[in-house]
Amino acid sequence: MTTRFIGKPLKRKEDPRLIQGLSHYVDDLNLAGMHYAAFLRSPYAHANIRSVDLSKARRASGVVLALSGTDIDGAIQPVPCAAQIPDMKSGARPVLARDRVRFVGESVAVLVASDRYAARDALDLIEVDYEPLTPIVNPEKAIAKGAAPLHAGQKDNVAFKWELEGGDLKAAFKAADKVIKQRIVNQRVIPVPIETRGVLADYQPGEGQLTVWSSTQIPHLLRTQIASMLNFPETLVHVVAPEVGGGFGTKLNVYPEEAIVAYLAIQLGKPVKWSESRRENFQATIHGRDQIDDLEVAIKRDGTILGLRCRVIADLGAYYQLLTPLIPTLTGLMMTGCYKIPAARMEITGVFTNKMATDAYRGAGRPEATYLIERVMDLVAAELKKGPVEVRRKNFPQPKDFPYATPTGLIYDSGDYQKALDMALKVADYKKLRQEQAKLRKEERYMGIGISTYVEICGMGPSSAMPAGGWESATVRVEPTGRVSVMTGSSPHGQGQETTFAQMGADVLGIDPSQVQVVHGDTSVVPYGIGTFGSRATAVGGTAVYKSLQKVKEKLARIAAHIVGSDPERMVFANRKIFAKQSPKKSVAFGQAVSAAYVAKTLPAEMEPGLEATTFFEPTNFTYPFGTHICVVEIDAETGDVKLVRYVAVDDCGNVINPLLVEGQVQGGIVQSVGQALFEEAVYDEQGQLITGELMDYALPRASDMCWIEAARTVTPTPVNPLGVKGVGEAGTIAATPALAGAVADALAPFGVHHVDMPFKREKIWQVMSKNRRRVQ
Amino acid sequence: MIPASFEYQAPKTLDEALRLVERHGDEAKLLAGGHSLLPLMKLRLATPRYVIDIGHLRGMSYIREENGQIAIGALTTHTEIEQSALLASKCPLLPETAAQIGDVQVRNRGTIGGSLAHADPGADYPAAILALDAEIIAANTSGTRTIPARDFFVDMLTTQLHPGEILTQIRIAPRRAQSGAAYEKLHQPASGFAIVGVAANVLLGEGGKTIEQAAIGITGLSARAFRAEAVERALSGKHISEKVIEDASRNGAEGVEPLSDLHASGEYRREMARVFTRRAVARAIVAARGDA
């Protein structure tokens, strides 16, 4: 295959419609007779529901239906959780609370009206008699002796305990020259996709057909779950993910509103739409992170790390969403990062609190792991008065060590960590940066340099390691006119696979990307698929596409060879022609061969007509992208303001289909990380009220908060798939927070401080600098 | 946005608007740029029965010289102020302040009259208006009156405007020779409002060695924007030095009760008042000397 398009920075096919506002999100879809649903949400974090009186709301103008949790009891199954951890307790979320509410924003009633104003107004007419209970907000207090359990019939608020140990930890700590202990906190954050969630459902009673449009990353899994939750035939459920304006993991889930809106459409025989407000999105769409990690590290004086022990308190919120308990376990699997640490142990305590559930947020457990191990590397360097680069280098596995087995049971596919580090140091001109830092310190200016050498786990599959299948599907159909439809089970929502899969189709079949149309998100059109998350769409979904393209290509080669009288093995596809390698004059136009497949008069004997192939690709392993990020900050000692000065990102995601899109993913991920590092924090007060409940109080990073990102790449292909691609959707978020944390800690080193918890808000940094001002000069 | 229902009225003339305001009293809210009112209505924290949209009033958006003063219509947007050539030469503090409000979309819609009348404790204009000794013109059905800026801000979201009055104009004296001004702000990272914002306006003596007069307006620090008179006293008549500026800045929060919230404690705000007062005064002096 000649690669005219793969590896080239093609502009995205998706962008013209997005930039011009011509795309259709759920809220842009309107059906005749459409009604609107609105949810009444609990203002209390913890309360018993004595009664819900819907009588006034039901009489309100325009209202056609109003239901409480009691009204739908038994009709809709609770929110599904696919994660299974031995001995985990029940934390199932009812779609509407019936007896008790357990977080602010939990729905207690739903109503449907003829327009969205009538629906919203009628909410104010619902009377709920709450009996407030003491909210349990702090996860450590939640598991302290005497804390009342959130869930009836449970003895405490421990949802599960999970342990992972590899290597001889006892021996490691016995052989240690020093043991470092540190608590680090990875704060709860709110993902904030630009498009909030939305659901539109339509039911045709004659045909018995239910169609649900939802802003989701997993249309097929949602279809299965809606069928199960409503006890409705899956064959009659059609789910469409139209344009989805960002997910970041929040839409890798099944929410009460998806099942309820479908249920309401069936009950009413009318289309029903619900659009989530920003406030609802803050309160009732999954949050991310929220771990307290207590670390113990066994080290040798030369910087060798012998062992790592970590006790984690994971604040799960009140209920499980789809993958809630699973996310912190990914932190455990990746806790040793890109280092040869022979022994490691993690003990996770999953805790119920009166908050929204946590679940997969861009990186999902791996940013927490990288943050943890990279903070460890910096603390080791500080303890031993060595450079952060030296300590990291000392503990890297060498390229010859791959595939590399970790004590946590993973097999890293391929890597050259040294090479990425060297490139980053060169791009940053690290030596010069250190000289500049020394000079500025004399002027009482506080510049800090942070380094993060990371590895992450993505290309989510294989199925043996996943809760609900780790494969992906693709159908390639060459249409009679010669246009190519690629139907992918992946569900891109910003990742750009309409472009990258078209690049692949064009190169395999010797045509132009404009002739390849990528179709996704519609369960009636594309084969059953798993969806887009865990940086898997190209590594797993792309491989399924590639294999289906190969199958179609083989068939076309046989048809073309039959027409020109040549050997199918020797046919070449280029410039919309198929020709024999040795004698290019033996050639047919691409369209002619395609036509032959459909007209079916000149096909080789025994060949079926048509030109379509489907693949369900099952990967043999995860993929493990890696790299080095270097961040330079300067802190204003008077205000505590942290300013980004430089950011160097060297990422290795294996082979690259489109470097422009890779850079876009890296940039976006870094910016999102800057948000967590500098500003973002979901703050619940003691009453369990989310006081960072809107964008006036919850700061997202802006262009003016960023510096230029100097991005470079090394290329270490993976042997796990034929494309050699690893995935890059989350790398930026995984790599960047520790680089920023390292830079801030480095800037504060003259104050005798080696670790500060995120977010690095100005007042917090100012406090650190004023309290420690004269300790070290 | 799904607010509670309201009656929308869009008068075409100021007289018509004043009659509506008089008639509806507390049940009415004025809508100008909408950046303060609409978020409150969206969350149903404000549920006015009448929304009187004054955005269609003719002749309320202008920046012009009148009788030796600069007159700014209440409906002039932040962007118009930011880009005004007249203000750039006669009153550069105001465009400098406008440029630090919110973001481009906010500046394109928000109006100076709306911002001043709303009197958010973190709004930027109040600091500048105070430091400029501006006059605020308010109208009702029986006429107009002039309110000095230093009397205008009463408390959080409260001004000297009476029920039935509409803020129509802001008047500012053009800058004098040997004077300079600057606005220094620590912004709240989510909303862009000022945690502390300090506008300094100084008049230097001959040769630029002394401060003859200083006017310091501070916003964000407390429930209302105020003139930092203790700082002004400590600067006026002094020979300029780093120490004089530093010492004077220590009085930035004198006599006020600092706000304390999710974004900044009172202790931090007090300290930032010192830092940003110093920065604003130092830059105002540089601006004044640049004129000499």
Among A117, A639, A694, select the one facing B272 at the smallest CB separation: A639
| Partner-chain residue, chosen from B5, B39, B265, that has the shortest CB–CB distance to A763 | B265
Whether A663 and A514 map to the same domain: the answer is no
| B165/B190 same-domain check | no
Q: Is residue A25 part of a domain?
A: no
Is residue A407 predicted with pLDDT exceeding 60? yes
C-beta atoms of B4 and A121 within 8 A: yes
Could you give the strand order of the β-sheet that contains B194-204, starting from the edge strand earlier in sequence? Answer: B179-187, B194-204, B211-219, B226-227
- Judgement on whether residues A374 and A414 belong to the same structural domain of the protein: yes
Instruction: Looking at the structure, tell me whether residues A643 and A766 fall in a common domain.
Output: yes
Residue among A120, A691, A699 whose CB faces B189 most closely: A699
Q: Quick check: is A148 in a domain? A: no
Say yes or no for a CB contact (<8 Å) between A691 and B262.
yes
Interatomic CA distance for residues A288 and A299, integer angstroms = 31
% of chain A beyond a pLDDT of 70: 99
Q: What is the CATH number of the domain that holds B125?
A: 3.30.465.10
Tell me if A155 is assigned to some domain: no
**CB atoms B5 and A121 under 8 Å:** yes
Assign residue A279 the CATH number of its domain.
3.90.1170.50
Helix (H, G, I), strand (E, B) or coil at A256: helix
Q: For chain B, what is the domain count? A: 3
Same domain for A398 and A511, yes or no, is no
In a domain, B58, yes or no: no
- Domain holding A610: CATH number? 3.30.365.10
Residue of B nearest to A700 (CA): B190
A155: CB partners within 8 A, 6+ apart: A149
Closest CB to A696: pick one of B190, B265, B275.
Answer: B190
Nearest CB to B268; choose among A691, A694, A766: A766
The closest CB to that of A117, out of B2, B43, B265, belongs to: B2
Mean pLDDT of chain A: 97
The verdict on A665 and A756 lying in the same domain is yes
Contact assignment for A763 to B191 by CB distance below 8 Å: no
**Residues in chain B closer than 8 A to A639 (CB atoms):** 186, 272, 275
In a domain, B1, yes or no: no
Q: Are residues A523 and A569 in the same domain?
A: yes
pLDDT band with cut points at 50, 70 and 90 for residue A468: confident
Q: Are residues B129 and B47 in the same domain?
A: no
Give me the amino acid identity at A703. Answer: A
- Cβ neighbours of residue A332 under 8 Å, at least 6 residues apart? A162, A164, A310, A312, A346, A348, A369, A408
Question: Which chain A residue has the Cα nearest residue B1?
Answer: A277
| B143, B191: one domain | no
Distances (CA, A) of A382 to A737, A742, A744: 19, 11, 14
Whether residues B222 and B276 share a domain: the answer is: yes
**Would the pLDDT of B202 be above 60?**
yes
**Would A472 be classed as within a structural domain?**
yes
Residues of chain A whose beta carbon is less than 8 angstroms from a beta carbon of chain B are: 116-117, 120-121, 277, 279, 638-639, 641, 678-679, 683, 691-692, 694-700, 705, 762-763, 766
Contacts of B259 in chain A (CB under 8 A): none
Torsion of CA B267, B268, B272, B275, to 10 degrees: 80
Name the domain count of chain A. Answer: 3
Residues A719, A754 within the same domain = yes
Residues A377 and A392 in one domain: yes
Angle between helix A543-564 and A497-509 (nearest 10): 30
Question: Which tokens in the block code for residue A196?
Answer: 């909030």
Q: Which residues of B touch A121 (CB under 8 A)?
A: 4-5
pLDDT of B292 reads 46
**pLDDT (tens digit, 9 = 90+) per residue, A583-615?**
999 999 999 999 999 999 989 999 999 999 999
Mutate to test the interface with A, among B1, B2, B270 (most CBs of A within 10 A): B2
CA A153, CA A89: separation in Å to the nearest integer?
10
Cβ of B2 and A120 within 8 Å? yes
CB spacing of B262 vs A692 below 8 angstroms: yes
Closest CA to A239 of A221, A255, A253, A261: A221
Phi, psi torsion values for B92, nearest 5 degrees = -65, -20
pLDDT in tens, A202-222: 999 999 999 999 999 999 999
B190 and A695: CB-CB below 8 Å? yes
Q: What is the pLDDT of residues A152-188, one digit of tens each?
A: 999 999 999 999 999 999 999 999 999 999 999 999 9
3-state secondary structure of A184: strand
CB contact under 8 A, B186 and A763: no
Choosing among B259, B268, B277, which should be mutated to test the A contact, i.e. which has the most A CBs within 10 A? Answer: B268
The CATH number assigned to the domain holding B13 equals 3.30.43.10
Tell me, yes or no, whether A272 and A292 share the same domain.
no
Cβ pair B43:A279 closer than 8 A: yes
Final residue of a structural domain among A569, A602, A617: A617
Indicate the residue among A599, A617, A635 that finishes a domain: A617
Residue B39 to residue A696, Cβ atoms within 8 A: yes
Nearest 10 degrees: CA dihedral of A739, A741, A746, A751? Answer: 180
- Number of cross-chain residue pairs from A and B with Cβ atoms under 8 Å apart: 41
Q: Which residue of A has its CA nearest to B189?
A: A699
Catalogue the E-assigned strands of A428-493.
446-455, 472-478, 484-488
Tell me how close the Cα of B137 comes to any Cα of chain A, in angstroms.
31
* DSSP track, A17-30: HHHTT----GGG--
pLDDT score, position A777: 44
Q: Is B2 a member of any domain?
A: no
> Structure tokens of A735?
């790599």
Does residue A606 sit in the same domain as residue A635? no
Cβ contact A285:A198 at 8 Å:
no
CB contact under 8 A, B275 and A639: yes
pLDDT at position A448 is 98
Dihedral of alpha carbons A389, A392, A393, A398, sign:
negative
Q: What percent of chain B has pLDDT over 70?
A: 99
User: B45 with B77, same domain?
Assistant: no
To 5 degrees, how large is the angle CA A637–CA A643–CA A648? 135
Chain B residues inside the 8 Å CB shell of A277: 2
Q: Are residues B121 and B162 in the same domain?
A: yes
User: Please, which residues bridge with residue B51 across strands?
Assistant: B8, B29
Is B91 contained in some domain? yes
- Note whether B212 and B247 are same-domain residues: yes
Q: Are residues A734 and A654 part of one domain? A: yes
Report pLDDT digits (tens) over A510-565: 999 999 999 999 999 999 999 999 999 999 999 999 999 999 999 999 999 999 99
Clarify whether residues A393 and A497 are in a common domain.
Answer: no
Please check whether residue A147 lies inside any domain of the structure: no
**Strands A63-68, A107-113: parallel, antiparallel or unpaired by DSSP?**
antiparallel
**Chain B positions with Cβ closer than 8 Å to A:** 2, 4-5, 39, 43, 186, 188-191, 262-265, 268, 271-272, 275
- For residues B73 and B20, membership in a common domain is answered with no
Domain-ending residue, one of A617, A646, A678: A617
Shortest CA distance from A120: residue in chain B: B2
For residue A330, pLDDT over 50 is answered with: yes
Check CB contact under 8 Å for A699 and B275: no
Q: Identify the residue among A192, A697, A698 best suited for mutation to test binding to B, counting B beta carbons within 10 A and taking the highest.
A: A697
Q: Does residue A3 have a pLDDT over 90?
A: no
pLDDT bucket at A716, cuts 50 / 70 / 90: very high
Question: Are B161 and B249 in the same domain?
Answer: no
Domain boundary among B140, B172, B204: B172
| pLDDT for the residue numbered B291 | 61
Distance CA A559, CA A588 (A): 10
Domain identity same for B156 and B187: no
Domain boundary, last residue among B157, B172, B187: B172
pLDDT band with cut points at 50, 70 and 90 for residue A406 = very high
Residues B88 and B104 both lie in one domain: yes
Own/partner long-range contacts of A644-648 (Cβ < 8 Å, ≥24 apart): A644/A674, A644/A705, A644/A706, A644/A707, A645/A447, A645/A707, A646/A428, A646/A433, A646/A707, A646/A708, A646/A710, A647/A706, A647/A707, A647/A708, A647/A709, A647/A710, A647/A736, A647/A739, A648/A424, A648/A427, A648/A428, A648/A710, A648/A712
Chain A residues with beta carbon closer than 8 angstroms to that of B120:
none
Contacts of B189 in chain A (CB under 8 A): 678-679, 699, 705
A280-299 pLDDT, tens digit each: 999 999 999 999 999 999 99
Residue A145 lies in a domain: no
Residue type at B197 in one-letter notation = G
Is the domain of B45 the same as that of B76? no
- CA–CA separation, A742 and A776 (whole Å): 19
For A205, A270, B42, the CA distances from A232, given in Å and listed in that order, are 13, 17, 37
Which residues of B fall within a CB distance of 8 Å from A635? none
Q: Which amino acid is at B282?
A: A
Contact residues on chain A for B258, CB-CB shorter than 8 A: none
Q: Closest-CA residue in chain B for A38?
A: B2
Nearest CA in chain B to A278: B1
Domain that holds residue B37: 7-53
Range of the domain at A85: 31-133+194-246+251-284
Does residue A104 sit in helix, strand or coil?
coil
* A298 min Cα distance to partner chain B (Å): 39
CA distance B140 to chain A (A): 34
